[in-house]
Amino acid sequence: SEEDRVAKEVLTELLEKMGIDAEITASLSEPSRPDADAPVLLDVRGQNLNVLIGRRGETLASLQYVTRLITSRRIQQRANIIVDVAGYKSQRSDRLEKLAKRMANQAVSQNRTITLEPMPPNERRMVHLALRNREDVYTKSTGEGDARKVMIIPK
């Protein structure tokens, strides 16, 4: 589609300006909700790309934001794009799910609330989703801005 093509062009330009040599593949990702359109997933592969991920994925989030912004402006509509680097996001989501389950078990066995480290909104959402079907705990976010974190509370 035009969106894929333009998004890939934009990201390629951004990486070139950053002096980063990488390969970008575009594919359709899983939609966030059943009624939503599937976002375009741009996966960046290459050497030494940690600089694109940054601490807790902050640089990657910014790169995705800028790519979306420029693409949206060029195609004159909101671009639904996810930028990932070497599968970091999918691996991160697996790690977060395992962490959530481990901490939920700990909360139950110790019968106390466990508070995770601060996370960006998309990661907090992954934790909430990982535990939403459990009957022995519930989750809630607490704190302000960048310090927001998830609490896992035994029922």
DSSP 3-state of 148: coil
Across 2-11, 20-29, 73-82, least confident range? 20-29
DSSP 3-state of 23: strand
Element (H, E) at 100: helix 88-110
pLDDT tens by residue, 38-63:
788 999 999 889 999 998 788 999 99
Q: What is the mean pLDDT of residues 8-17?
A: 96
Q: In this predicted structure, what is the pLDDT of residue 32?
A: 65
Q: Strands, DSSP E only, in the chain?
A: 22-28, 40-46, 81-85, 114-115, 137-142, 149-154
Judged against a pLDDT cut of 90, whether residue 113 lies above it is answered with yes
Tell me which residue of 4, 2, 17 sits closest to 83, measured CA to CA: 4
pLDDT tens by residue, 72-101:
999 999 999 999 999 998 898 899 999 999
Length of the chain counted residue by residue = 155
Q: What is the pTM of this model?
A: 0.74
**Beta strand 40-46 pairing with 22-28:** antiparallel
